[in-house]
Amino acid sequence: MVIGKLRPETLKKYVFNRVGVIDPRVLVGPSIGEDAAVIDIGNDKVLIAHVDPISGANEYIGWLAVHVPSNDVAVSGAKPQWLLPVLYLPENSDDELIDRITDQMNLAAREISAMIVGGHSEFTAGIKRPLISMTSIGMTSKDKYIISGGAKPGDAVLMTKSAGVEGTAVLASDFRDLLLSRGVDSATISNASKMIKNISVVKDALILAEDNLPTAMHDPTEGGILGGALELAYASNTSITIHEESIPVAKETAIICEALNIDPLRMLSSGTLLASVPVEKLDYALKKLRNGGLNASVIGEVTKRGDFLVKILRKDGRAEIYNDVYVADEVMRLWST
């Protein structure tokens, strides 16, 4: 069994219909494809909250624990402000491990100007490596929040940075020996591991949200660009066509993916922002991102829901059709083996 997210049908059957007492102040609750909860707190303000587990990484787990859930708050249109981590540590953990993890969390929180306001830590029986569950919280105006389900037919799909940013860094740091055995040189591995510094999309998302440019935004984590596009299409009841030739892939990512025989479009991609933008706003959106020092590319388009959720037009001319919103992530698959 491949580790990773529960399948959508399992979530629908056992999770989404078991949420306790329905609160009318919850504007966006648990659903497939949506990045965060949105709660009306009055005075035309909404609270944006998201929690994420970090289980597919080891070396940079503290850094990822801050940035991954904070990305999901940011793509909902809010600046992440408060963090609550839960640390699960193997029974034989020493102070050096705890020091490394908390130092990373502190540095990452400072980078996005957020504060760790509480949480929990414990030694947990039965685990072999540390795990973290992190909650990130922010606020924005009621008329400013953005959902994944807002994409409209006719919108363009843009992305920032390159595919598989997070996955590349995780593979380089946690699978170094395997990569060396597959012929990947140490300089490439070193450069790839440094991509961990680029996994935040807080800046990307807030640049677009400032002028209400996107109809939808998404942080493609597990399942990568493909998984993110599927969740956008599913949540907005549209179809999305993606052009592989338009998707930037870093040299290090390409080398590592070739060595491990994995698809860069199906691997952890925190650091990449996906957004649907009306075509009349597209040039301005791209200009704003580039003026902010961010690479941005138009990679596809949104159409009325047809006989597919996502279609990938590959460089070799093949058209791949996807109707299952679930994608088994390539990095998670490697961890499972």
Q: How far apart are CA 176 and CA 182, in angstroms?
A: 10
Structure confidence at residue 1 (pLDDT) = 53
Q: What is the mean pLDDT of residues 245-267?
A: 97
Q: How far apart are CA 1 and CA 117, in angstroms?
A: 36
Best CA proximity match to 312, nearest among 303, 322, 298? 322
Mean pLDDT of the chain: 95
pLDDT band for position 11 (cuts 50, 70, 90):
very high
Q: Answer yes or no: do 167 and 307 share one domain.
A: yes
Q: What is the mean pLDDT of residues 228-246?
A: 97
Q: Answer yes or no: do 183 and 295 share one domain.
A: yes
Strand partners, 312: 242, 320
> 271: domain CATH number?
3.90.650.10
246 contacts: CB under 8 Å, gap ≥ 6: 297, 298, 299, 300
Q: Answer yes or no: do 94 and 170 share one domain.
A: no
Q: Out of 118, 141, 164, pick the residue that ends a domain.
A: 141
Q: How far apart are CA 204 and CA 136, in angstroms?
A: 17
Q: What is the mean pLDDT of residues 46-62?
A: 91
Residue 77: inside a domain:
yes
pLDDT band for position 136 (cuts 50, 70, 90):
very high
146 has a pLDDT exceeding 80: yes
| Residues 157 and 216 sit within 8 Å (Cβ to Cβ) | no
Q: How far apart are CA 306 and CA 144, in angstroms?
A: 30
Structure confidence at residue 236 (pLDDT) = 96
Residue 231: inside a domain:
yes
Structure confidence at residue 2 (pLDDT) = 58
More confident residue, 1 or 227: 227
Number of helical H runs and strand E runs in the chain: 11, 14
b or e along 318-329 (b: 16 or more beta carbons within 10 Å of the residue's beta carbon)?
eeeebeebbbbb
Question: What pairing do the DSSP bridges indicate for beta strands 310-313 and 319-322?
Answer: antiparallel
Q: Answer yes or no: do 81 and 195 share one domain.
A: no
Q: Answer yes or no: do 180 and 328 share one domain.
A: yes
Q: Answer yes or no: do 172 and 248 share one domain.
A: yes
Q: Answer yes or no: do 302 and 179 share one domain.
A: yes
Strand partners, 121: 87
Q: Which two tokens stand for residue 131?
A: 């795990």
Q: At 68, which amino acid appears?
A: V
Domain count within the chain: 2
Residue 238: inside a domain:
yes
Indicate the pTM of the whole model.
0.92
State which residues form the domain around 291.
148-336
Q: Which two tokens stand for residue 149?
A: 């389900």
Best CA proximity match to 139, nearest among 73, 85, 72? 73
Give the tens place of pLDDT for each residue, 290-313: 999 999 999 999 999 999 999 999
Q: Answer yes or no: do 228 and 320 share one domain.
A: yes
Q: Answer yes or no: do 184 and 82 share one domain.
A: no
Q: How far apart are CA 52 and CA 188, in angstroms?
A: 29
Q: Answer yes or no: do 237 and 293 share one domain.
A: yes
Q: Answer yes or no: do 315 and 174 share one domain.
A: yes
How is 79-112 classified by DSSP, letter by letter?
EEEEEEEEEEEETT--HHHHHHHHHHHHHHHHHT
| Residues 275 and 157 sit within 8 Å (Cβ to Cβ) | yes
Strand partners, 322: 310
> 45: domain CATH number?
3.30.1330.10
Residue 12: inside a domain:
no
Residue 230: inside a domain:
yes
Residue 35: inside a domain:
yes
Q: How far apart are CA 83 and CA 277, in angstroms?
A: 30
Structure confidence at residue 332 (pLDDT) = 84
Q: What are phi and psi of 102, to 5 degrees?
A: -70, -30
pLDDT band for position 58 (cuts 50, 70, 90):
confident
Q: Out of 125, 141, 157, pick the residue that ends a domain.
A: 141
Q: Answer yes or no: do 206 and 316 share one domain.
A: yes
| Residues 287 and 296 sit within 8 Å (Cβ to Cβ) | no
56 has a pLDDT exceeding 80: no
Give the tens place of pLDDT for each residue, 187-226: 999 999 999 999 999 999 999 999 999 999 999 988 999 9
Residue 128: inside a domain:
yes
Percent of the chain with pLDDT over 70: 99
Structure confidence at residue 309 (pLDDT) = 97
Residue 2: inside a domain:
no
Q: Out of 141, 163, 182, pick the residue that ends a domain.
A: 141
